[in-house]
Structure 1
Amino acid sequence: MRMKVPVGVFICLLVTLKYTSQADINIAIIGGGIGGTSCAYFLKQIFNDNVSIDLYEGDTIGGRLATVALKDGNEYEAGGSIIHERNRYMSSFVDINGLEKNNNAVSERVGLYTNDGFEFIESSNHMVNIMKTLWRYGYGIKEMKNFIDDLLNKFDRIYEHQAAGHSYDTVNELLMAMDPAFSGYLNISIKDAFLNLGYSEKLIEEIVKASIKVNYGQDVNVHQFVGAVSLAGMDGSLWAIKGGNKQVAEKLLNLSNARLIQEYVVQVTQNNNNNETSYMISTNTGRNLTYDYVVFAAPLAENQKIPIIFTDISSPLKNVGKYHRTVSTFVVGKLRNEKFTPLSDGSDAVLVIALNENEFFNSIGNIESVASSSILRNWKVFSREPLTSYQLNELFESISEVKSFDWLAYPHYEIPSKSLDFQLSDRLYHINAIEWAASAMEMSCVGAKNVALLIKKNIDSNWNETNKWMRVEL
């Protein structure tokens, strides 16, 4: 016998049943950087109060978004420092949290440095600089800009897909949702791709290499997608958040209503009781808590600083490779004139990028405080290893303060790039898989939204399977 109920009553009953089932879902997020905190925020958006979230972070919230304080009383970005004007998620996070953009960044003159001196130095005069650039690199520089603009237009498609609730199991599938050609970008170097497009080797070995060197500490043998993202990061339409980019992660954590557990996760154990998967999280203090879903929002690499033991995982975890070491050294001092003439005259903010692989530094640039965009005569040096006193003295003729941060900052990109899954095992997800396409704040946010949508898809699927016996005739 079939039961007939009014349509309105049925809909209310269905919604009540669905959200009652979701109210029992609890989720652990491991990592308090922009990926972990934005995932907590997206989960809160999707499920409202029908899910509980614990976020584990043994260090400070923000992860690789961090600041350093110098004796001059100012703070400076020590990690992720620039945001592109077309990064929709980061822009929206600034707006909803009432933060302020610092988008009046001081223009800087870029010098491309080799063992023999400068190969190319930008002019402080805009028109002169255009002429110098065209003379050296030809119209390929314009064609390359068009290529990057086209890539950004295609990247924008992911926002509409995610707004419609679409999720993707692999990084390749997510890239192909932007443009089917993007998957192939992971299997060719930016150098070979641009040579195939007809760009000159000089443009590739100088302009393209400089962007990758300063943004990723690597060379033109990285794959095409991350190389293109790096070039987009050299565009002039960039900004940062007044007071420090780490504020976004702090604010998102508050908006998510997630419980912060300030402990390090040391073990994740998969449980399978009555064909139902759950996970026990164990911390360095001996805490053990069980969750329905776990989101890993930190680098999962061979050389990660705090290794986590995964126990009884039904699907073997893939070896995802190594993260690239980058040391950020902050120096209060005076650049050595004889080494960097004519950029060291003090009239402009400057950025020196070393093109040679045997140089001990990647780049040296003036830094601005997180509070303002005024020119400050302090410096940030990127290098692959900590700088010795001898090396610092090679760069600076006088030094009054030095501070350094040693990061596993981004993946070491190789060809072909690994095809990574966002789902490590049943109900166990990995946001940072997306970094193997390109590491950037906005990429982490895109990965975080995708994982939140994958969890929603899994919960909806389980609910439909559990309640498929229900037959109601309207």
Structure 2
Amino acid sequence: MPAYARPAGLKQRRGVAGKTAVFDGASVVAEETDWYLLDLLRLWWRYGSSFIRLQMWLEDIMEKFIRIYKYQAHGYAFSSLEELLESLGGSGFVNMTRRPLSDSLLELGVSQRFIDEVVAPVIRLNYGQNVSVPAFVGAVSLASAQSNMWAVEGGNKLLCEGLLELANANLLRARVTSVRTLRSGEALQYELTLAGEGPERRTAAYDAVVVAAPLRAGAGISFPDWASPSVPGEGEWQGAGVTLVHGYLNTSLFGFRDARLFPYAGVLTTAAPALFFNSVAGVYPVEVPPGFRRKRAHEAAVYKVFSPAALTGEQLKTLFRRRSGGRTLATAARPARIEWAGSAMEMSAVAAKNIALLAYRRWNGRSLQVNREDLLRAIKTEL
């Protein structure tokens, strides 16, 4: 992300300090304090060496994953998710996309209690799912729980807008309805059919077309010249609800009758059946001004609630003492292809650069830089 943001003149958003807790439906079972060493001692006392084992596992995975930036800097690309993962971490990375996170962690010696009270809440927050997600997805999710995450001042959407402007691209504001092939001698090109406010129209010929959208039933894009286009399996789409509420959090639900004593900026939850939400946290502006102070629980504030489904009126009454407004967005989302391995903006950036390199290498016939084996040695030889 930072490497793409700098050319676009974008800056990192200021962080807003705040503590997080984990709620199991009856009480707070884990919490952050103002003292890092105290947090470590509490983790050790309750979970033994599980935290250290998890940290070492994540560091090993991230150390291997960052090789992709060196590979891409030297112009190498991969034609499939499996080829990319194999180049980074061998068969171990590929197997992590097929094995549940819980199984991998238990094999490492991580306790079931730690999985239930620390790992599961993070997965519920990021993906709205449980610890049966693939291990690679879980590793990306857990890595995102670290304090050094990056966001763009003004909103991450500015990254796409800035890069589009830098590319000096001709943006056609229309919906693509079909992709057709055009042949001129040996050359193969592609033509798009667009639908907008007026009648359908066809574009000029393109040397390459990238479909950066989920190819699922009802997507509205046809490929008439392909007998059976290669489309990822449908899979199940994960339902989720996001509710924005302006009001006063019901801190007594978490064991704090006096809201002024509630110290947390956000609360995650375990997979207890009675819990109807995954997390609740204050919402901060995309541009954090100097001296910004987050509102405390006894003050009216804007909260974001993640839940498995849209919240009912009764559920909102349980979670908030009083509210003056709110909006619920129901979404259906499932990571696709490279994001299926681990859905995050960073994965989207890696995938986008890979497909750009792949398209360029295939267009100019430099196939030796696609799916190259033993890349670390090849790069050292180049240097």
TM-score bracket, normalised by the shorter chain, equals 0.7 to 0.9
Give the SS at the match of 2:311: coil
Residue of structure 1 in register with 2:377 after alignment = none
Residue of structure 1 in register with 2:373 after alignment = none
TM-superposed CA distance for 1:382, in Å, is 0.7
Residue of structure 2 in register with 1:173 after alignment = 83
TM-superposed CA distance for 1:104, in Å, is 2.7
Give the SS at the match of 1:169: coil
TM-superposed CA distance for 1:178, in Å, is 1.3
- For residues 346 and 269 of structure 1, the distance between their equivalents in structure 2, rounded to whole angstroms, comes to 63
The residue correspondences of 1:238-317 to structure 2 (distance < 5 A) are 238-272=149-183, 274=185, 276-285=187-196, 286-289=200-203, 290-302=205-217, 306-317=219-230
Point out the more displaced range, 334-343 or 258-267. 334-343
TM-superposed CA distance for 1:102, in Å, is 1.7
Residue of structure 2 in register with 1:147 after alignment = 57
- For residues 457 and 229 of structure 1, the distance between their equivalents in structure 2, rounded to whole angstroms, comes to 29
* Residues 364, 463 of structure 1: alpha-carbon distance in 2 compared, 3 angstrom cutoff: closer
Unaligned runs of 5+ in 1: 1-89, 412-431, 465-474
1:147-192 C-alpha deviation (Å, 9 max, x unpaired): 1112111111011111111111110111112111211111211100
- For residues 281 and 360 of structure 1, the distance between their equivalents in structure 2, rounded to whole angstroms, comes to 45
Residue of structure 2 in register with 1:340 after alignment = 254
Residue of structure 2 in register with 1:37 after alignment = none
For 2:294, the aligned partner's letter is I
The residue correspondences of 1:86-235 to structure 2 (distance < 5 A) are 90-110=1-21, 112-180=22-90, 181-235=92-146
**Structure holding more strand per residue:** 1
* Residues 357, 116 of structure 1: alpha-carbon distance in 2 compared, 3 angstrom cutoff: closer
Residue of structure 2 in register with 1:324 after alignment = 238
- For residues 346 and 248 of structure 1, the distance between their equivalents in structure 2, rounded to whole angstroms, comes to 39
TM-superposed CA distance for 1:272, in Å, is 4.8
* Residues 270, 387 of structure 1: alpha-carbon distance in 2 compared, 3 angstrom cutoff: farther
- For residues 176 and 463 of structure 1, the distance between their equivalents in structure 2, rounded to whole angstroms, comes to 18
Q: Is the CA contact (8 Å cut-off) linking 2:176 and 2:221 kept in structure 1?
A: yes
* Residues 125, 463 of structure 1: alpha-carbon distance in 2 compared, 3 angstrom cutoff: closer
For 1:316, the aligned partner's letter is P
TM-superposed CA distance for 1:274, in Å, is 4.3
* Residues 436, 383 of structure 1: alpha-carbon distance in 2 compared, 3 angstrom cutoff: same
Give the SS at the match of 1:401: strand
- For residues 393 and 281 of structure 1, the distance between their equivalents in structure 2, rounded to whole angstroms, comes to 50
- For residues 357 and 265 of structure 1, the distance between their equivalents in structure 2, rounded to whole angstroms, comes to 44
Give the length in aligned residue pairs: 352
Q: Is the CA contact (8 Å cut-off) linking 1:349 and 1:375 kept in structure 2?
A: no
Residue of structure 2 in register with 1:391 after alignment = 315
Is 2:349 the partner of 1:441?
Answer: no
TM-superposed CA distance for 1:347, in Å, is 5.0
Residue among 363, 370, 373 paired with 2:286: 370
Unaligned runs of 5+ in 2: 296-300, 369-383
Give the SS at the match of 1:291: coil
Identical positions, percent:
33
Residue of structure 2 in register with 1:360 after alignment = 276
Q: Is the CA contact (8 Å cut-off) linking 1:108 and 1:349 kept in structure 2?
A: yes
- For residues 164 and 283 of structure 1, the distance between their equivalents in structure 2, rounded to whole angstroms, comes to 36
* Residues 463, 273 of structure 1: alpha-carbon distance in 2 compared, 3 angstrom cutoff: farther
- For residues 397 and 135 of structure 1, the distance between their equivalents in structure 2, rounded to whole angstroms, comes to 35
TM-superposed CA distance for 1:455, in Å, is 1.0
Residue of structure 2 in register with 1:407 after alignment = 331
* Residues 463, 342 of structure 1: alpha-carbon distance in 2 compared, 3 angstrom cutoff: closer
Give the SS at the match of 1:147: helix
Q: Is the CA contact (8 Å cut-off) linking 1:94 and 1:248 kept in structure 2?
A: yes
- For residues 270 and 408 of structure 1, the distance between their equivalents in structure 2, rounded to whole angstroms, comes to 32
Q: Is the CA contact (8 Å cut-off) linking 2:256 and 2:262 kept in structure 1?
A: no
TM-score using structure 2 length = 0.85
Q: Is the CA contact (8 Å cut-off) linking 2:116 and 2:271 kept in structure 1?
A: no
- For residues 361 and 253 of structure 2, the distance between their equivalents in structure 1, rounded to whole angstroms, comes to 58
TM-superposed CA distance for 1:462, in Å, is 8.6
- For residues 65 and 134 of structure 2, the distance between their equivalents in structure 1, rounded to whole angstroms, comes to 17
For 1:348, the aligned partner's letter is P
- For residues 331 and 99 of structure 1, the distance between their equivalents in structure 2, rounded to whole angstroms, comes to 29
TM-superposed CA distance for 1:357, in Å, is 5.8
Residue among 136, 144, 147 paired with 1:236: 147
RMSD over aligned CA atoms reads 2.3
